[in-house]
C-alpha cells in the first residue's frame, strides 16, 4: 500500500454520470497541499449544502395566506374598535396556527441533519507524499484515501490499489449481503468496509456523491397535503361568502345613512363568525388524538396531516428488503449430491462457518443447523475465513483420529476445487442457474480427507424470506382498496420469487427499462400501475416512481422503507412509512414510524386513519353549514328588517359554547370505510350548503313568526334566536356525523354526547334566567327546544337526499361503512 505506484488518472464517473477533473494523481505522493486547497475552493467542502432561513423569513411565511389574512383583518378590526378580548383570542389562534406550521417545517431539517451525521468525520489521506488524518469535509476530488476494516467511506472513490475490499452498502441500498470490490470499482460514501484494505482516488464529494444525491433528494422533496388543500378550499369558500355578504351590508348601510362605526362593528362580528379560525386547530386536535390511538397500535405519527393522507392511500410502494422480507438470509431446500445426506451436507456447511464472527451467510447456515437439531460439532483445528479473492471458507477438523477439511463458497469456486468437469459440472451449473432464475443464491459445499481430493457434497439455496405476517397483511390491505407495488434494488428473479409468495399479480419491471431514455412520465406511470413491482432501483428511481404515480393522477401514494436509500422517496410520498428497525435517516424523513416488527400494523393504522378522516369530514361539513346559516340569517334580517338578530355578547357565547362539543368530535365513534377516502370538496360543500340553507329557512321562519305574528319584544326575540342557533346548531352535529339517519350506528361516543348536551343545557339556563342576555323563562325555552327537535329529522332527510343525488350525479362510489367496534371484513 505504501510502495511507489505508477501515476494514474483520477478521472472517474460520479453517480450522475459526469466526469470529474482529468488532472492526474500520483498514488505515491497524492495531491500537493496547494492543489488540494485550490480544489477545495473549486468543488467546495465534502459536506451537504446548508440553506439557512432567517427567523424573520420563517415568521413572514407563517402569517401569509388567505386564512391568515382574514384572521389578521379581524384582529386589526378588533384593535381599532378596542375590543381587546376578541383581539387577544384571535391573535392567540393565529400564533397557534403559526406554531403548528413551524413544527411541520422542522421535519425536513431533521431529515437532513440525520443524513449529515452519517458522513464519515475523518479520513486517512495522502498529501505531499505523507499520510495524514484530516476532517472528511476537507477531502477534494483527486485525493488518495486509505481504507481499512471498519472505516466509513468518506467520499465516492475509484479503487486504485490493494488486493480486495468488501463493503457493507446496506444503509445505502437496503440489501444485506456485503459487496466485493476490486481495483477499478467504485466505492460509495457512507458505506462501511467489512474486509480488506485498499487505496482509492476521490471522484466525488459532498452533494455530488451517491450519498449526497440522496440527501439532496430529501431536501428537494416537497408535497402539499390534501388536508392543507382542503383547509384552503374551505377557507376560500367562507372568505368569498363573507366578502359578498359584507359588501351587501355596507351598500345597504350607505343607502340607509346608518352610523359607519356601528356597521363596521357588525362587519367585525360577521367576519369573526365566518372565518374558520378554529378550523385548523380543531382538525389538528382531531388528528393528534387519533395519532395517540395509532401510537398504541405500534405506529408513531411524525406529521399530523399524514393521517388524512394515510386514510386516502390507494397506492403503497413497499420496499422489499426489510419491509416485505425479514432482511435475514435463510436456507432453502437442501440439494445434496448423490450419496450425501441432507444432515451431512448441512453439518459440513456448519463446520465451514466462522462461529466467532459470523457473516450473513454463516448466520443462515448456523441457524439452519440448529433448527435441524444439530449436534455438537467436532473440534476445529484451523479455520480460513472468506475473502473476496478466494471466495470460500475452509475448516480443518479432527474427526475419529483423522484430519478432514470442509469448504463452502461460490459454486464456481467449489466446482473448480473439486475439479469437476463434463456432464457432472454442467449439471451443477444448470442447477445454480435454475436457482438464480427462481430468486435463490446458491452456496456449494465440499469436503476432503487429509491429502485427498475434494468431493462435492451439494448445494445450499439461500434466500431472504418474506416476513411472517407479510402475505396476510398485504391481502388485507388490498381488500381495503390499496394497490401495492414492490420496489427493490435486487434482481428481477429474486423480486419475482418474493412476489409469487406474497400474492403479487403482474410483471416485475427493471428500473433500467422503465426509465429508459425517451420514456415519458405518462408511459412510466402506466407501466407501474399495471406491474407488480420494480427491480434494480437506485434511490433516485424510487423517488421518480413515487413522483410519477403522483403526477397527472389522483393517486395518494404511500412508501415503506428502512434504509438511507429510502429517505427521498419517503419524504416525497404522501405518506412515508419507516418500518421497525429503520435507519435514523428513514425515520426522520417518514410520516409514520412503525415500532413493532413487520408491516401488519399498517392495516390497522389505515383503518384508524379512515375513522379520523370521518371525524374531520363531519366537523368540516358542520362548520361550513353553521357559517352559512349564521351569515345568511344575520344578513337577511339586517337587510330586510334593519335589525340585529343577536347581540355581540351572544356571538361570543355561541363561540364559547360551541368549542367544547366541537373538540369532542375527536373522541367520537366513527365509521370505517372499506375503500380509500379523501376530500371530495364539491360533495362536502353541497351537503353543508344544503344544511346551511335549511338552517336559514327554519331560523328565518321562527324570527318572522315571533316578530310579525306574535309581535314579541325584540330583545326577547334576540335571546330566543340565540337559543335556537345554539340548540339547532349542536343538533346539526348529529346529522353531519353520519352518512345515514342521525340515529344510525355507530352512535355518538358518551364523551361527545355528554358534553354536547351539557352545553345545550348551560345555554338554556343562560336564556331562562337571563345571564348576560334578556331572560325568556321556561315556556319560551322549551318551545324553542321543541321547534329545533322537530326540524332534526327533516335536516337528516335533506342531508341523505342531497348525498344520494350528488353521488348519482357524479358516479361517486358509495362507501360501505362499518362501525368502530366491528373488525374489518376480509371478504
Lowest mean pLDDT among 103-117, 177-191, 545-559, 654-668: 103-117
Residues constituting the chain: 827
pLDDT, residue 823, reads: 36
User: 46 near 154, Cβ under 8 Å?
Assistant: yes
The mean per-residue pLDDT over the stretch 581-606 comes to 75
Asked if pLDDT for residue 231 goes beyond 90, the answer is: no
User: Which range, 227-231, 459-463, 625-629, 663-667, is most confident?
Assistant: 459-463
pLDDT tens digits along 294-313: 877 777 777 777 787 888 88
pLDDT for 556-593, tens place per residue? 888 887 766 677 778 888 888 887 777 666 777 788 88
- Active-site annotation holds for 483: no
Q: What confidence tier does 621 reach under pLDDT thresholds 50, 70, 90?
A: confident
Alpha-carbon torsion (83, 85, 91, 97), positive or negative: negative
pLDDT at 364 over 80: yes
DSSP state of 134: E
Helix/strand/coil for 818? strand
Total Cβ atoms within 10 A of residue 237 = 19
Looking at the predicted structure, is the pLDDT value of residue 109 above 70? no
C-alpha cell at 187: 466505492
- Which of the residue ranges 314-328, 680-694, 797-811 has the most confident prediction, judged by mean pLDDT? 680-694
Dist CA 39 CA 30 (whole Å): 13
Pull the grid cell for residue 523.
408511459
Which cell is 645 given? Answer: 338578530
What is the average pLDDT score of the chain? 78
20 CB-contact burial (10 Å; exposed 0-12 / middle 13-18 / buried 19+): buried
User: Which one from 156, 319, 562, 668 is the annotated catalytic residue?
Assistant: 319
Comparing 49-63, 124-138, 253-267, the range with the smallest average pLDDT is 49-63
CA distance linking residue 269 with residue 634, whole number of Å? 10
Nearest-angstrom CA–CA distance, 60 and 57: 5
Half-sphere exposure of 455 (CA within 13 A, CB side): 17
111 pLDDT higher than 50: no
Q: What is the CA radius of gyration of the chain?
A: 35
Whole-angstrom distance, CA of residue 671 vs CA of residue 822 = 9
Name the phi and psi angles at 50, rounded to 5: -110, 135
CA–CA distance, 609 with 287 (Å, rounded to integer): 9
Nearest to 586 by CA among 296, 171, 167: 171
- Whether the Cβ atoms of residue 566 and residue 214 lie closer than 8 Å to each other: no
Pairing verdict, β 455-463 and 508-510: unpaired
What pLDDT score does 155 carry? 87
Give kind and range of the element (H or E) at residue 594: strand 592-594
* Separation between Cα atoms, residue 575 and residue 556, nearest integer Å: 8
In this prediction, what percent of the chain has a pLDDT beyond 90?
A: 15
pLDDT of 219 over the 70 cut: no
Of residues 171 and 74, which shows the higher confidence score?
A: 74
Segment holding 576, helix H or strand E: strand 575-578
Q: 213-227, 397-411, 438-452, 690-704: which has the minimum mean pLDDT?
A: 213-227
Give me the residue label for grid cell 480486495.
164
Q: Identify the pLDDT of residue 17.
A: 37
Question: What pLDDT shows up at residue 16?
Answer: 37
pTM: 0.64
Give the range among 288-292, 523-527, 767-771 with minimum mean pLDDT.
288-292
Q: Residue 477 CA to chain centroid, in angstroms?
A: 16
CB 607 within 8 A of CB 592: no
List alpha helices for 491-599, DSSP H: 492-501, 511-514, 521-529, 539-550, 567-572, 584-589
Sign of the dihedral defined by the CA atoms of residues 319, 324, 330, 336, in that order: negative
Instruction: Choose among 470, 527, 526: nearest CA to 499.
Output: 470
pLDDT of 288 higher than 80? no
Amino acid at each position: 500500500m505504501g510502495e511507489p505506484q505508477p501515476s494514474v488518472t483520477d478521472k472517474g464517473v460520479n453517480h450522475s454520470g459526469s466526469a470529474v477533473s482529468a488532472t492526474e494523481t500520483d498514488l505515491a505522493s497524492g495531491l500537493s497541499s496547494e492543489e488540494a486547497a485550490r480544489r477545495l475552493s473549486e468543488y467546495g467542502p465534502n459536506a451537504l449544502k446548508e440553506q439557512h432561513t432567517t427567523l424573520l423569513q420563517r415568521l413572514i411565511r407563517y402569517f401569509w395566506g388567505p386564512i391568515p389574512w382574514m384572521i389578521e383583518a379581524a384582529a386589526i378590526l378588533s384593535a381599532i374598535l378596542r375590543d381587546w378580548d376578541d383581539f387577544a383570542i384571535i391573535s392567540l389562534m393565529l400564533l397557534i396556527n403559526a406554531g403548528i406550521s413551524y413544527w411541520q417545517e422542522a421535519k425536513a431539517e431533521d431529515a437532513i441533519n440525520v443524513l449529515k451525521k452519517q458522513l464519515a468525520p475523518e479520513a486517512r489521506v495522502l498529501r505531499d507524499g505523507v499520510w495524514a488524518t484530516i476532517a472528511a469535509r476537507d477531502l477534494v476530488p483527486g485525493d488518495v484515501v486509505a481504507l481499512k476494516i471498519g472505516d466509513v467511506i468518506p467520499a465516492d472513490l475509484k479503487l486504485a490499489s490493494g488486493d480486495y475490499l468488501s463493503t457493507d452498502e446496506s444503509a445505502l441500498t437496503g440489501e444485506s449481503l456485503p459487496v466485493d470490490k476490486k481495483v477499478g470499482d467504485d466505492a460509495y460514501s457512507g458505506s462501511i468496509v467489512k474486509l480488506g484494505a485498499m487505496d482509492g482516488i476521490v471522484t466525488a464529494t459532498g452533494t455530488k456523491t451517491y450519498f449526497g444525491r440522496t440527501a439532496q433528494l430529501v431536501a428537494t422533496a416537497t408535497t402539499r397535503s390534501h388536508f392543507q388543500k382542503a383547509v384552503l378550499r374551505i377557507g376560500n369558500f367562507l372568505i368569498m361568502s363573507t366578502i359578498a355578504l359584507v359588501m351587501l351590508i355596507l351598500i345597504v348601510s350607505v343607502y340607509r345613512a346608518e352610523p359607519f362605526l356601528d356597521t363596521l362593528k357588525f362587519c367585525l362580528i360577521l367576519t369573526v363568525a365566518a372565518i374558520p379560525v378554529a378550523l385548523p386547530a380543531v382538525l389538528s386536535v382531531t388528528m393528534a388524538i387519533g395519532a395517540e390511538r395509532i401510537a398504541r397500535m405500534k405506529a408513531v405519527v411524525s406529521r399530523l396531516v399524514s393521517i388524512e393522507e394515510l386514510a386516502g392511500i390507494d397506492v403503497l410502494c413497499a420496499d422489499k428488503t426489510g419491509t416485505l422480507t425479514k432482511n435475514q438470509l435463510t436456507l432453502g431446500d437442501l440439494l445434496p449430491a448423490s450419496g450425501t445426506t441432507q444432515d451431512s451436507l448441512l453439518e459440513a456447511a456448519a463446520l465451514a462457518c466462522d462461529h466467532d464472527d459470523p457473516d450473513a451467510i454463516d448466520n443462515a447456515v448456523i441457524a439452519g443447523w440448529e433448527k435441524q437439531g444439530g449436534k455438537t460439532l467436532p473440534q476445529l483445528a484451523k479455520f480460513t475465513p472468506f475473502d473476496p479473492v478466494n471466495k470460500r471458507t475452509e475448516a480443518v477438523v479432527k474427526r475419529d483420529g483423522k484430519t478432514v477439511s470442509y469448504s463452502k463458497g461460490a459454486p464456481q469456486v467449489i466446482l473448480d476445487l473439486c475439479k469437476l468437469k463434463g456432464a457432472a459440472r454442467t449439471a451443477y451449473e444448470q442447477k445454480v442457474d435454475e436457482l438464480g432464475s427462481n430468486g435463490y443464491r446458491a452456496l456449494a459445499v465440499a469436503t476432503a480427507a487429509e491429502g485427498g481430493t475434494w468431493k462435492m457434497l451439494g448445494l445450499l439455496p439461500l434466500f431472504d424470506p418474506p416476513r411472517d405476517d407479510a402475505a396476510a397483511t398485504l391481502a388485507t390491505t388490498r381488500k381495503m382498496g390499496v394497490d401495492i407495488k414492490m420496489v427493490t434494488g435486487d434482481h428481477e428473479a429474486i423480486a419475482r420469487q418474493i412476489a409469487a409468495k406474497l400474492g403479487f399479480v403482474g410483471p416485475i419491471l427493471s428500473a433500467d427499462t422503465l426509465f429508459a431514455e425517451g420514456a415519458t412520465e405518462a408511459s412510466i406511470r402506466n407501466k407501474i400501475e399495471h406491474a407488480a413491482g420494480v427491480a434494480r432501483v437506485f434511490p433516485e428511481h424510487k423517488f421518480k416512481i413515487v413522483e410519477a404515480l403522483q403526477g397527472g393522477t389522483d393517486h395518494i401514494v404511500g412508501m415503506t422503507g428502512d434504509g438511507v436509500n429510502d429517505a427521498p422517496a419517503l419524504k416525497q410520498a404522501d405518506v412515508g412509512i419507516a418500518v421497525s428497525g429503520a435507519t435514523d435517516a428513514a425515520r426522520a424523513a417518514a410520516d409514520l414510524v412503525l415500532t413493532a416488527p413487520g408491516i401488519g400494523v399498517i392495516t390497522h393504522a389505515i383503518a384508524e386513519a379512515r375513522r379520523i378522516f370521518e371525524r374531520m369530514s363531519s366537523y368540516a361539513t358542520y362548520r361550513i353549514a353553521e357559517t352559512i346559516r349564521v351569515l345568511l340569517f344575520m344578513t337577511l334580517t339586517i337587510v330586510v328588517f334593519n335589525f340585529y338578530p343577536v347581540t355581540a355578547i351572544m356571538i361570543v357565547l355561541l363561540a364559547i359554547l360551541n368549542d367544547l362539543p366541537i373538540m369532542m368530535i375527536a373522541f367520537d365513534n366513527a365509521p370505517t370505510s372499506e375503500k380509500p377516502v379523501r376530500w371530495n370538496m364539491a360533495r362536502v360543500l353541497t351537503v353543508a350548503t344544503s344544511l346551511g340553507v335549511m338552517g336559514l329557512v327554519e331560523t328565518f321562519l321562527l324570527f318572522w313568526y315571533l316578530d310579525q305574528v306574535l309581535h314579541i319584544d325584540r330583545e326577547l326575540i334576540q335571546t330566543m334566536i340565540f337559543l335556537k342557533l345554539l340548540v339547532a346548531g349542536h343538533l346539526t352535529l348529529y346529522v353531519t356525523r353520519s352518512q345515514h339517519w342521525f340515529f344510525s350506528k355507530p352512535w355518538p361516543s358518551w364523551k361527545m354526547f355528554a358534553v354536547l348536551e351539557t352545553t345545550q343545557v348551560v345555554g338554556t339556563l343562560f336564556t331562562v334566567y337571563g345571564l348576560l342576555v334578556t331572560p325568556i323563562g321556561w315556556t319560551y325555552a322549551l318551545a324553542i327546544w321543541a321547534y329545533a327537535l322537530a326540524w332534526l329529522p327533516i335536516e337528516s332527510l335533506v342531508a341523505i337526499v342531497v348525498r344520494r343525488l350528488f353521488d348519482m350525479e357524479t358516479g361517486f362510489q358509495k362507501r360501505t361503512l362499518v362501525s368502530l367496534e366491528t373488525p374489518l371484513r376480509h371478504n
